[in-house]
């Protein structure tokens, strides 16, 4: 019998081929859950899942595609028999100043983060409310709390995820389904490694802990919210930012 904080549970993590999503999938798996790893690119997500061992299900899915999201959740239920934990993590950036950002950049970012999260919450909660239990964790960002120059699209989407989380939490609390969010600060992944090194260093210098976080440090917060350790928490937003914006 598996042991761990989420032993015997089944989880789905989006954007799980790399970075924070992969760290969350690994952490949930390490703590006893069966995990579906979902990402755009089937080959990359299969490779990532193979690394975790047994009790994993790699699935290609675009989180902005309503039909694909619903189908993916059905596949997880067929394979694992249940869905107890859903982590909506997939994300992109299209940073530019307001002068240079196109409407297409705005739409792309809002689609993946906000619509993608909404589709994930809607589909997962439909299953969870029937089961009378479940935990949904949405990955927002401190950028949605504080705003960041060059990220009007991203900050808007990440702030929107907070409102969506709280509304869904209120709708679903009496059905035994909890919905919470995590707001990571600067975390070392491909997304932030694309930043010019001097900007990365400037951001790090602003953090009271004086360093960027690691994906595994965000995964710890997601595990807490996914597990019974947080059984009396819903609609909460956990900041994982090394003390930034307290």
**Percent of residues in the chain assigned helix, strand, coil, to nearest 5:** 50, 15, 35
In angstroms, rounded to a whole number, what is the distance separating the alpha carbons of residues 241 and 184?
Answer: 5
Task: Give dist(CA 40, CA 197) in Å, integer.
Answer: 27
Stretch near ligand NAP under the rule CB under 6 A, chosen from 37-45, 75-83, 119-127, 230-238? 37-45
194: left (phi over 0), alpha (psi -120 to 50) or beta: alpha
Residue 96-135 contact track with ligand NAP, rule CB under 6 A, x = bound: ----------------x---x-------------------
Residue 62 as a binder of ligand NAP (CB under 6 A): the answer is yes
Extract the tokens encoding 90: 């997939």
C-beta of 63: minimal distance to ligand NAP in Å?
4
Q: Is 186 in the site for ligand NAP (CB under 6 A)?
A: yes
Among 191, 207, 233, 236, contact with ligand NAP (rule: CB under 6 A): 191
Question: Is 232 part of the annotated catalytic residue set?
Answer: no
64 is a site residue for ligand NAP (CB under 6 A):
yes
Question: How deeply is 203 buried, as exposed, middle or buried, from its count of CB atoms within 10 A (0-12, 13-18, 19+)?
Answer: middle
Q: Which of 29, 69, 116, 154 is catalytic?
A: 154
Task: Confirm or reject binding of residue 72 to ligand NAP (CB under 6 A).
Answer: no
Whether the CA torsion 188, 149, 222, 23 is positive or negative: it is: negative
Residues acting as catalytic residues: 154
The residues that touch ligand NAP, with contacts defined as CB under 6 A, are 14-15, 17-21, 39-41, 62-64, 89-92, 112, 116, 139, 141, 184, 186-187, 189-192
């Amino acid at each position: 019998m598996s042991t761990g904080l989420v032993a015997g549970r089944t989880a789905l993590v989006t954007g799980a081929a790399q970075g924070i999503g992969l760290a969350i999938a690994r952490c949930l798996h390490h703590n006893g859950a069966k995990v579906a790893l979902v990402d755009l690119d089937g080959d990359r997500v299969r490779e990532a899942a193979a690394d975790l061992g047994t009790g994993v299900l790699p699935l290609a899915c675009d989180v902005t595609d309503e039909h694909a999201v619903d189908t993916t959740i059905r596949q997880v239920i067929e394979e694992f028999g249940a869905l107890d934990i859903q982590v909506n993590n997939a994300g992109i950036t299209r940073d530019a100043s307001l002068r240079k950002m196109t409407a297409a950049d705005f739409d792309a970012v809002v689609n993946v983060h906000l619509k993608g999260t909404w589709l994930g919450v809607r589909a997962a909660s439909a299953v969870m409310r029937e089961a009378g239990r479940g935990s949904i964790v949405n990955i927002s960002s401190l950028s949605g709390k504080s705003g960041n120059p060059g990220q009007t699209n991203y900050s808007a989407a990440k702030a929107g995820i907070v409102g969506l989380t709280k509304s869904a939490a209120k709708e679903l609390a009496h059905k035994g389904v909890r919905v919470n969010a995590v707001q990571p600060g600067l975390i070392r992944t491909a997304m932030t490694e694309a930043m010019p090194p001097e900007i990365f260093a400037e951001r790090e210098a602003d953090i009271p802990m004086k360093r960027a976080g690691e994906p595994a440090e965000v995964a710890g917060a997601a595990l807490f919210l996914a597990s019974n350790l947080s059984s009396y928490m819903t609609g909460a937003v956990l900041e994982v930012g090394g003390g930034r914006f307290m």
